């Protein structure tokens, strides 16, 4: 359990305890609501043991995989269980997105293309070559 310092002018949150208008509220997970991956989404993680995959431990990996390869159900699950800030951070930082997927999510989430790493020229040039090694 964590502490929250209540300032009359604002609400301060420290980890799991939140004070709003003088009342204590316990928040067990503020960034993600589900601790495990639903069984219908296991098929997108064929190269790992999906039953042992904890989305809280590797949020960018899970978000990237589901936004890149998932269906509507997978996208709904991502948007329900991760904050928009976490999704935006993933779009900006992960290089595993295809240009088409990255372009879509950048437009949808109103992220400037200059901030999306996998849409930068050096990455796009490397992505077009079949065997860059």
**Domains: count for the chain:** 2
> Are 85 and 110 within one domain?
yes
* CA dist., res. 17 & res. 15, Å (int): 6
Q: How confident is the model at residue 23, as a pLDDT?
A: 56
Looking at the fold, whether 19 and 43 belong to one and the same domain comes out as no
Q: Which residue has the higher pLDDT, 22 or 73?
A: 73
pLDDT score recorded for residue 5: 43
Residues 26 and 46 in one domain: no
Asked which of 55-59, 83-87, 122-126, 127-131 is least confident by mean pLDDT, the reply is: 127-131
Residue 40, helix vs strand vs coil? helix
What per-residue confidence (pLDDT) applies to 27?
43
Summarised one tens digit per residue, pLDDT across range 26-83 is 444 444 555 689 999 999 999 988 888 899 999 999 999 999 999 999 999 999 999 9
Instruction: Give the range of the structural domain holding residue 57, as residue numbers without chain letter.
Output: 39-128
* pLDDT value at residue 124: 65
Give a yes or no: residue 44 inside a domain: yes
Both 7 and 68 in a single domain? no
Q: Is 74 exposed, middle or buried (0-12, 13-18, 19+ CB in 10 A)?
A: buried
> Quick one: how far is CA 95 from the chain centroid?
14
Domain annotation covers residue 133? no
Residues 64 and 6 grouped into a single domain: no
- The whole-chain average pLDDT of the chain stands at 78
Q: Are strands 13-14 and 17-20 parallel, antiparallel or unpaired?
A: antiparallel
Is 112 part of any domain? Answer: yes
What is the pTM for the complete model shown?
0.68
Q: Which two tokens stand for residue 125?
A: 């040039």
Compute the distance between CA of residue 20 and CA of residue 43 in angstroms, rounded to an integer. Answer: 41
Return the pLDDT at 7.
46
């Amino acid at each position: 359990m964590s502490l929250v310092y209540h300032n009359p002018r604002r609400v301060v949150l420290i980890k799991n305890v939140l004070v709003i208008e003088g009342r204590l509220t316990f928040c067990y997970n503020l960034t993600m609501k589900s601790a495990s991956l639903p069984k219908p989404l296991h098929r997108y993680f064929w190269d790992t043991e999906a039953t042992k995959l904890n989305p809280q431990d590797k949020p960018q990996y899970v978000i990237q995989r589901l936004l890149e390869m998932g269906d509507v159900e997978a996208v709904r699950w991502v948007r329900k269980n991760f904050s928009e800030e976490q999704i935006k951070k993933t779009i900006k930082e992960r290089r595993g997105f295809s240009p088409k997927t990255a372009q879509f999510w950048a437009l949808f989430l109103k992220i400037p293309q200059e901030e999306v790493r996998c849409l930068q020229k050096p990455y796009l040039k490397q992505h077009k070559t079949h065997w860059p090694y």
